[in-house]
């Protein structure tokens, strides 16, 4: 067997946010309170109720943020069995609270013209930021997340970045054309009438029944989910890449024309709703875990389909296609509202998308900051959070949950983020890795031999019986030329030794990777959970 590798990078280069594993101990909730749409100020911690999985917990930290400054906390009577006490401020009293605005640009599903409208207006509204605010910008093209700007207060720098982002290629028109072509073929085959019109005998509800009952469109939904899951994973990875900034954290999610699974009728519709919830769960869970509020922005605005559109007339009934497009757009809006509702933010649609930054700045200047320390089990369980008010007539908006991630899951998420950003793993050390000659792995797949040498003098050796043992975790992140990634497995490696190794001693480990027969970017990482040491190597696999 022949071995070889093509290295991309070995030298560790520090990128903000990739230097350590996220370790959140306190959950902070930003709560916005309104009465008839107007902000309500002057509330105390005792005016709030905090429920986690239905059980009321005491509020341990509390501050009111007014106009970007911290108001002085007051003594309050906490709920439950806690006696009268003064709640600790969530942040220092009297100071300014900066907001970190992470801008995520979806170039994969956006149409250039409408995306550039939003980016241009966003650049024009930068002067609304305060000197203590900062902004970072990332973009995703369907294959890779690119860091356009890390955190900066420079308005001129951000203006340049947003202007240059308008020159990036966007693929929304291509995706839209592909989807409507598939949809047209399905509609013609499912609903053709004796008179030859694709839709003349069915009507809109008939189209819904045909799409819900036919097994073929189900593949379309699954394909759409796979496409959107790339954007979801990319946005979640961007959050993890910027997990540690202080102050209020928000993401401006510039969303394109996402082809989300659609609930058409009855039980089948409920099943698709659950599928859609699961599809966006990684983004919602990550935002809630890291304390980010999502503000989705509908980059596309009006889909632009009308009964008189010449393109529609070639595909069937223009009126029906316009109604179908409106239905798809409504469902897309519902998805954006879902992301906002679950994280305490707002969705900006139609004309509001052009004033999004102005609205987000106004929405994040005044709120209440509530903090509590949950009983961490690190079992990857999701927990429901509810913030309620004791007074009637008031409405509160806050995030709805958090996830108790295990250490192993946090490491996997961190590595996934570094791989997607193509960013080195902080202070990781080089890992000696070789790829073997690939073999047949089934239709369209290959089995790729992977061999690595574990440096025994760098990992943690624990005493065991009459010798020593080290327990390590191997992860291989792989993304093919189309931007598709597989789940990130964790392979445990145990190495037993009769005694302490000599300096420079290594232990060889071999395994097989099952990959698509396509070019792949690989990030192979070896993690020592005891010491936190990472060894990593980036490779490129090119099939013969």
Tokens of 143: 């294959």
pLDDT band at 266 (very low <50, low <70, confident <90, very high): very low
pLDDT of residue 175: 77
Mean confidence (pLDDT) of the chain: 78
Q: What is the largest CA-CA distance in the chain?
A: 86
Name the one residue in this structure whose structure tokens are 């839209």.
176
254: pLDDT strictly greater than 90: yes
> Which of 66-75, 413-422, 517-526, 531-540 has the least mean pLDDT?
66-75
Q: Which of 24, 39, 54 is nearest to 400 (CA)?
A: 54
pLDDT of residue 123: 97
CA distance 58 to 27: 12
DSSP 8-class letter at 312: H
Instruction: Please give the CATH topology (third level) of the domain spanning 99-363.
Output: Rossmann fold (3.40.50)
pLDDT of residue 272: 64
CA distance 492 to 394: 52
pLDDT band at 86 (very low <50, low <70, confident <90, very high): very low
pLDDT of residue 16: 36
The partner residues of 455 in beta bridges, in order of sequence, read 506
CA distance 383 to 438: 43
pLDDT band at 181 (very low <50, low <70, confident <90, very high): low
202: pLDDT strictly greater than 50: no
188: pLDDT strictly greater than 90: no
pLDDT band at 83 (very low <50, low <70, confident <90, very high): very low
Name the one residue in this structure whose structure tokens are 């300014």.
96
192: pLDDT strictly greater than 60: no
Could you report the per-residue pLDDT of 34-55, keeping only the tens digit for each? 999 899 999 999 999 999 999 9
pLDDT of residue 325: 53
Distant-in-sequence contacts of 182-185, Cβ < 8 A, 24+ apart:
182/220, 183/220, 183/324, 184/315, 184/316
Tokens of 84: 């009268």
Tokens of 212: 């819900």
CA neighbours within 13 Å on the CB side: how many for 448? Answer: 25
pLDDT of residue 314: 40
pLDDT of residue 302: 63
pLDDT band at 541 (very low <50, low <70, confident <90, very high): very high
Burial class (CB within 10 angstroms; exposed 0-12, middle 13-18, buried 19+) of 389: middle
Tell me what the mean pLDDT of segment 205-215 comes to: 31
The alpha helices in 259-307, defined as continuous H runs, are: 266-290
pLDDT of residue 395: 94
Burial class (CB within 10 angstroms; exposed 0-12, middle 13-18, buried 19+) of 192: middle
DSSP 8-class letter at 302: S
CA neighbours within 13 Å on the CB side: how many for 456? Answer: 21
149: pLDDT strictly greater than 80: yes
Cα separation of the two ends of the chain: 15
pLDDT of residue 204: 29
pLDDT band at 99 (very low <50, low <70, confident <90, very high): very high
Q: Report the percent of the chain where pLDDT is more than 90.
A: 43
- Break the chain into its structural domains and give their ranges: 3-18+424-541, 27-97+366-390, 99-363
pLDDT of residue 300: 84
Tell me what the mean pLDDT of segment 81-105 comes to: 66
pLDDT of residue 426: 67
- Where is pLDDT greater, at 316 or 402? 402
352: pLDDT strictly greater than 80: yes
pLDDT of residue 240: 84
- Where is pLDDT greater, at 323 or 525? 525
Tell me what the mean pLDDT of segment 432-454 comes to: 92
pLDDT of residue 221: 39
- Evaluate if pTM is beyond 0.85: no
- Tell me the three state secondary structure of residue 280: helix
Q: Report the percent of the chain where pLDDT is more than 70.
A: 73
pLDDT of residue 414: 81
pLDDT of residue 11: 30
Q: β-strands 462-464, 467-480: how paired?
A: antiparallel
| Cβ contact 109:175 at 8 Å | yes
305: pLDDT strictly greater than 70: no
pLDDT of residue 179: 64
205: pLDDT strictly greater than 50: no
333: pLDDT strictly greater than 90: no
| Cβ contact 236:283 at 8 Å | yes
Superfamily of domain 3-18+424-541: Immunoglobulins (2.60.40.10)
436: pLDDT strictly greater than 70: yes
Tokens of 188: 């013609």
Question: What per-residue string of b and e applies to 275-309 under the rule 16 or more CB within 10 Å gives b?
Answer: ebeebbbbbbbbbbbbbbbbbbbbbbbebebeeee
What is the DSSP code string of 188-252? Answer: HHHH--TTS-SSTTTHHHHHHHHHHH-HHHHHHHHHHHHHHHHHHHHHHHHHHHT----SEEEEE
Q: β-strands 534-541, 520-527: how paired?
A: antiparallel
What is the DSSP code string of 464-480? Answer: ETTEEEEEEEEEEEEEE
- Tell me the three state secondary structure of residue 381: strand
List C-alpha distances in Å: 431 to 5, 12, 289. 12, 11, 31
CA distance 401 to 282: 12
pLDDT of residue 537: 92
CB atoms within 10 A of CB 173: 14
pLDDT of residue 463: 93
Could you report the per-residue pLDDT of 362-412, keeping only the tens digit for each? 999 889 989 888 887 778 888 899 999 999 899 999 988 887 878 888 888
Compute the Cα dihedral for 20, 21, 27, 33 and give only its sign: positive
Residues 6+ apart with CB under 8 A from 156: none
Task: Give me the numbers of helices (H) and strands (E) for the chain, helices first please.
Answer: 10, 28
């Amino acid at each position: 067997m022949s071995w070889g590798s093509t290295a991309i990078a070995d030298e560790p280069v520090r990128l903000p946010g990739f230097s350590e594993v996220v370790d959140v101990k306190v959950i902070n909730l930003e709560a916005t309170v309104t009465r008839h749409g107007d902000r309500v100020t002057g509330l105390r911690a005792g005016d709030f109720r905090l429920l986690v999985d239905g059980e009321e917990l005491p509020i341990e930290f509390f501050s009111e943020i007014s106009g970007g400054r911290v108001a002085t906390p007051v003594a309050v009577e906490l709920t439950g069995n806690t006696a009268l006490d003064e709640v600790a401020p969530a942040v220092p009293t009297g100071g300014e609270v900066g907001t970190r605005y992470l801008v995520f640009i979806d170039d994969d599903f956006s149409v250039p013209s409408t995306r550039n409208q939003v980016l241009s207006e966003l650049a024009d509204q930068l002067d609304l930021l305060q000197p203590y605010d900062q902004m970072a910008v990332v973009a995703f093209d369907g294959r890779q997340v690119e860091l356009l700007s890390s955190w900066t207060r420079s308005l001129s720098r951000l203006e340049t970045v947003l202007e240059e982002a308008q020159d990036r290629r966007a693929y929304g028109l291509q995706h839209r054309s592909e989807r409507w072509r598939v949809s047209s073929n399905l509609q013609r085959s499912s609903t053709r009438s004796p008179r030859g019109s694709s839709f003349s005998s069915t009507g809109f509800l008939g189209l819904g029944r045909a799409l819900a009952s036919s097994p073929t469109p189900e593949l379309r939904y699954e394909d759409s989910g796979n496409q959107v899951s790339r954007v979801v994973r990319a946005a979640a990875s961007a959050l993890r890449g910027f997990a540690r900034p202080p102050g209020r954290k928000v993401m401006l999610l510039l969303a394109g024309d996402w082809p989300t699974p659609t609930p058409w009728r009855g039980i089948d519709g409920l099943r698709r709703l659950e599928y859609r919830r699961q599809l966006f769960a990684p983004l919602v869970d990550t935002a809630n875990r890291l304390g980010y509020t999502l503000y989705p922005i509908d980059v596309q605005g009006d889909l632009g389909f009308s009964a008189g559109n010449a393109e529609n007339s070639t595909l069937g009934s223009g009126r029906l296609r316009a109604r179908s497009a409106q239905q798809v757009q409504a469902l897309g809006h519902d998805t954006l509202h879902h992301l906002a509702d679950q994280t305490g933010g707002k969705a900006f649609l139609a004309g509001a998308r052009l004033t999004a930054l102005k609205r987000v700045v106004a929405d994040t200047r005044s709120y209440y900051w509530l903090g509590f320390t949950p009983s961490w089990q690190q079992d990857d369980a999701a927990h429901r959070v509810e913030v309620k008010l004791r007074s009637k007539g008031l409405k509160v908006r806050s995030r709805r949950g958090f996830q108790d991630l295990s250490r192993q899951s946090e490491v996997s998420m961190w590595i996934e983020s570094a791989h997607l950003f193509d960013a080195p793993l902080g202070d990781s050390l080089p890992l000696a890795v070789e790829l073997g000659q690939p073999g047949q792995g089934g239709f369209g797949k290959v089995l790729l031999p992977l061999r690595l040498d574990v440096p025994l003098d760098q990992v943690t050796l624990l005493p065991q019986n009459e010798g020593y043992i080290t327990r390590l975790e191997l992860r291989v992140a792989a993304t093919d030329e189309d931007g598709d990634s597989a789940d990130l497995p964790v392979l445990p490696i145990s190495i037993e030794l009769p005694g302490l190794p000599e300096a420079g001693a290594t232990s060889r480990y071999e395994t097989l990777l099952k990959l698509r027969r396509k070019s792949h970017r690989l990030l192979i990482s070896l993690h020592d959970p005891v010491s936190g040491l990472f060894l990593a190597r980036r490779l490129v696999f090119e099939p013969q």
